[in-house]
Every structure is written in C-alpha cells, then in structure tokens.
Amino acid sequence: MSQSPSPVVSPSFGIETVGMDALIVRLFDAIDEAHMPWILAADNALRDRFGEVLIDLVPSYTTLLVHYDVARLSQREARQWVGEALRGLEPASTEAGREHRIPVWYDDSVGPELTRVAERLGVDTDEIVRRHTGRDYCAFALGFSPGYAFMGMIEESLATPRLKTPRQKVAAGSVGIAERQTAIYSMRSPGGWNILGRTAVELFDRERDEISLFRPGDRVRFEPISREAFIEQGGDTTPLEER
C-alpha cells in the first residue's frame, strides 16, 4: 500500500508561544505528505525529552503543539528542551504509520455529491470512485470531532471546493472530499464537505485501548463495496438528505 513520498530537505524549526504553558513548533510552511516522517520524528523526540512534564502533544500538518506543566517547567526551559530534542533530527521511517483499508459504499443515496463531482469532470461515477480509491492517503491530523482524520492528498482533478452552505447533519461514516483532502465523519455532525459514500467502520470507540482508529502518519486506502456488503458490515443505508 505504501507510496514513495517526494524528497524533502531537513526542516529548520521555529517556536511560537501560544500560552503560558504551550508552544507551537513549526517545521514547515506548506502541506506535503513528504513532511510527515519529520513530524513523526519530532513527535517522538519531544515526547522523550519532555517525559512526565508533557501534558499533551498534538502533531499536525506542519506543526506540533506542545502543552507542558508550567508548574514544573518555565517557558524558557521549555524552549530550550525543544531545541535539545530536535537537534540532529532525522526523519522517521516512511513505514512508521499503520495501514488501514476502509470499505466504502459509493452511492448517490449516501453520497449526494458523487454525481455532481462526476458531472463537473465530465466522467461517470465509476470513474470518480476509481480515482478516489486509486491511491493511499496520509492522515495529516486529527480534529473537528473525535476520531476525525484530515487525509490527503487526493488526485488534483478531484479537488472540489467545500459546499457553499454546510449541511446541518452529516451521517457518521460519511466519506467526503474538500479541496485536495478527504475525510470520514467520525460521528453525526454538521459539515460542508462533498460526500461521496459511506463506511460502516467505527472511527471512535471509548471502549478500545486506542479510542481513535487513526493516528497522524497512518496510511489509508478506500475500497469500494456493494450495498449488500455494506449492510452485512452493519452499515446504515438511511439516505443523506440533500441540503
């Protein structure tokens, strides 16, 4: 499933203060899948250096948010520790992330933008499915709702703006695209992405040891399945209402 990322030179990092007890470490200025090995390496290095003083560490597209115990560490010391942790940083293995295969039922009833995107490109819906399932996607960051992973990059021809008017309700498991990213709605929520289909895979489960299925750096590939297979997997076929 793995794809070779484009080469990236070693990043030079910057540190930004975002609160009394938090710093943002910026490694890059632009989103690129090839940056993830550096983000993951920085994540590991910072966790090792801060240890029990670390309250939370949130990796994202180009940055890492470091939240530390201000009662045990001053901001000056925190900045010093960041520098020490990232000195001589080497990228993590491109195989560091886990691999996931996500079965998706692509259909207009649960993916109302499937036909719209196809019409915009002058192709049939099967071609949209082929393009969306034709590559691996990198999970860049978690956010918006628990278990929701922002993934990319989708084929450039599929890049589609967000809906002008977001829906009030998007079903859990809905698979959507926006610009050059793709994502799965982890729970029922409002949303403005273009919905192409739905999966029965549960992305967020408080009963699991690791409550979120995805982590930054994971690789995801979507696989088309039939309505019957979707139902067998426990999928909800209730149509997604139009805006």
**Tell me, which fold does domain 99-232 have in CATH?**
Cyclophilin (2.40.100)
Residue 7 has pLDDT above 60, yes or no: no
Cα separation, 184 vs 176, in Å, equals: 6
Higher pLDDT, 207 or 46: 46
Q: Is the dihedral of CA 15, 49, 95, 130 positive or negative?
A: negative
Tens of pLDDT, residues 12-64: 789 999 999 999 999 999 888 889 999 999 999 999 999 999 999 999 999 99
Tens of pLDDT, residues 139-166: 999 988 889 999 999 999 999 999 999 9
Tens of pLDDT, residues 63-106: 999 999 999 999 999 999 999 999 999 998 766 679 999 999 99
Residue 5 has pLDDT above 70, yes or no: no
CATH number at 14-86: 3.30.1360.40
Domain spans, the chain: 14-86, 99-232
**Single pTM value for the model:** 0.85
